[in-house]
């Protein structure tokens, strides 16, 4: 099952974190590497690599600035929690050519031709500890997750649309005073609004 595969991927990632803690100098086991960082008034978002599970497509981390509002000068302090936004691909891995993968591709194509919606990607929003815990991995709290079908007939490839939506969701974090306070239904509403906007200009 797809859900089982993603659990396996997560366990593999946790193993990497444990390896990295045992040998922090081993760059190949470093859990995250920031590729791009954008600062806002209340926090910072970073596009990161290192969640090298087979289905990982996009990973963003939002870190909130802790502000001393009693001071005439707001001082940024180290955050205790961050927001992690993960985008994962659903379905057979690209390049996978085993019998099971071929059968799944065939079945998905068949259902698509019948007009059925086939989920292409999973979005997850988690609260995570800013630092690794003594066991070598982050303390996570799942805030929101859902599977989406990013296929548009004659439009951009689903993977590109999913990346664009995830990037826009991360940018939205910079417009909110405290994304850490957002509840599941609020994340869902934000995603649906972004997807609604994308369906117009990015469809052929």
Q: In this structure, which long-range contacts are made by residues 163-166, counting pairs with CB atoms below 8 Å and at least 24 apart in sequence?
A: 163/57, 163/58, 163/87, 164/198, 164/202, 165/123, 165/191, 165/194, 165/195, 165/198, 166/57, 166/58, 166/60, 166/85, 166/87, 166/123
Convert the pLDDT of each residue in 47-102 to its tens digit: 998 776 778 999 999 998 765 544 444 444 444 889 999 999 987 776 677 677 67
pLDDT (tens digit per residue) in 158-201 = 999 999 999 999 999 999 988 999 999 999 999 999 999 998 87
Full-prediction pTM beyond 0.85?
no
**Strands across the sheet containing 121-129:** 33-39, 43-49, 56-64, 81-89, 121-129, 140-148
pLDDT attached to residue 104:
66
Name the maximum alpha-carbon separation found in the chain: 65
């Amino acid at each position: 099952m797809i859900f089982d595969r993603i659990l396996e991927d997560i366990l593999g990632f946790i193993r990497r974190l444990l390896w990295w803690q045992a040998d922090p100098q081993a760059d190949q086991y470093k859990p995250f590497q920031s590729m791009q960082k954008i600062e806002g008034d209340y926090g910072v978002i970073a596009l990161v690599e290192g969640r090298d599970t087979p289905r990982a497509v996009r990973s963003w981390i939002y870190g909130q600035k802790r502000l001393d509002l009693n001071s005439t000068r707001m001082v940024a302090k180290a955050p205790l929690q961050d927001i992690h936004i993960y985008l994962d691909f659903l379905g057979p891995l690209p390049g996978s050519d085993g019998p099971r993968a071929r059968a799944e591709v065939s079945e998905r194509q068949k259902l698509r031709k019948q007009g059925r919606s086939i989920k292409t990607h999973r979005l997850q929003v988690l609260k995570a500890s800013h630092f690794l815990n003594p066991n070598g991995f982050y303390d996570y709290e799942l805030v929101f997750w859902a599977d989406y079908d990013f296929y548009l007939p004659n439009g951009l490839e689903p993977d590109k649309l999913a990346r664009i939506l995830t990037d826009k969701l991360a940018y939205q974090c910079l417009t909110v005073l405290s994304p850490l306070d957002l509840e599941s239904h609020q994340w869902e509403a934000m995603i649906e609004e972004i997807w609604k906007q994308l369906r117009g200009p990015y469809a052929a």
